[in-house]
Amino acid sequence: MKKTIPTFIIALLLSALNALFSQDLDDTEKMLQELSEAPGVSGYEEPAAQVFMKYLKPLVDELQRDNLGGVIAIKKGTADGPRVMIDAHLDEIGFMVKRIDENGFVKFFPLGWNFSQQLLDHRVIIHTRQGPVLGVLNTGPDIAEDKIIPRADMWIDVGVENRAEAEALGIQPADPITHESKFAVLNNRKFLLGKAWDDRIGLGVIIGVLKNLIKEKHQNMVFATGSVQEEITLAGAKTTVEAVKPDIAITLDIDVTNDLPANTSIDYAQPVLGKGVVIILHTAEMLPHVKLRQWVQSLAEELKIPHQFMLEEGGGTDAGPIHKWNLGVPTLDLVISQRYYHSANGIIHRDDYESTVRLITEIVKRLNKNTLDELVFKPLK
């Protein structure tokens, strides 16, 4: 006699499995999850901008946009103090549709830089005007193990038979493409897995700072900005800085770690996860303002805020165009370390997020007109 498992037992088993793999997230984790999972490649940042503004709205006095889609939030202090710009970029690395071949395979173009060997067998989402379309990024069989496949030999398979079927799904040239990757809290709860930490974690830091400033007095005009198109041209920083006209600027981004088995010999990648906010000493785009960097470093030492240093030999961030605006803006680049940057699945550390939020909160609290006068160079008389 064949025995069947009662339906209610199956339901209980499924419920137990769901409970095993589900996670109870705190408010910060929920916020970071929403930022990480929001789609928003360069030039198509609006979904990420909407999430950012949702969290900003109850924390600031005013919300504005620039003409490229950048977000500018204004938080007024108790006095007419320095105009402080805190910037992170909205966009993530991804792709855009280049063409569809006769068999319905989608050829793509990268938006932002990534490693070719990290792309194969990744699920992606094509964001069409008719809605999202799931696909897998791949290439042909029998690949030599020692061969790096160029992007030109890759395609996205959306599971159709021909071009007409793909077009019926709404796919067309210039549609943005993001990695399909979910946020997760890892086994040590301080390790957070997700896509687009570059630079959604910077947006999360800004939200954390503004939450703190609800309870803290300061004398400054704080301009919290989410810029666009950082990954391709740094264009958004050029428009937001023009709108804000800051006296001083702090930019936020991510960079590599030196806590991986393969990276221990890389000189410039000094930071490791969990050891604090990283103060950048050099990039190809900018040397930080020396007086500002030394003041912030002294502040971190005084308050015992965990911090690290990094001398980046190449690269660049929004700090590049911001510090060159008008007669020059004293600018400092602060970053959060990330394992596997510019990939579909990056790992950051909660402690690094917290130390960055705390340091920037203290910068805003301590800064005033007198402090700014000590930091900037005086004009000749």
- CA–CA–CA angle 348, 36, 365 (5° rounding): 70
User: What is the rounded distance in angstroms from the CA atom of residue 320 to the CA atom of residue 212?
Assistant: 28
Please report, for residues 27, 115, 205, the alpha-carbon distance to residue 201 in angstroms, rounded to integers and kept in the order given.
Answer: 14, 21, 6
User: What is the rounded distance in angstroms from the CA atom of residue 331 to the CA atom of residue 375?
Assistant: 11
Nearest to 311 by CA among 293, 292, 330: 293
Position 247: which residue type?
A: D
- Residue 91: asked if its preceding bond is cis (omega within 30°), the reply is no
Catalytic, 230? Answer yes
To which residue do tokens 């549609």 refer? 175
- 37, 230, 231, 312: the catalytic one is 230
Which pair of structure tokens corresponds to residue 190? 């301080």
Give strand ranges (E) for 92-232. 94-100, 106-111, 122-128, 131-138, 155-157, 176-179, 184-185, 191-194, 221-227
DSSP string of 230-276? TTTT-HHHHHHHHHH--SEEEEEEEE--S-STT-TT-TT----TTS-
User: What is the rounded distance in angstroms from the CA atom of residue 378 to the CA atom of residue 364?
Assistant: 22
Residue positions annotated with a catalytic role = 230
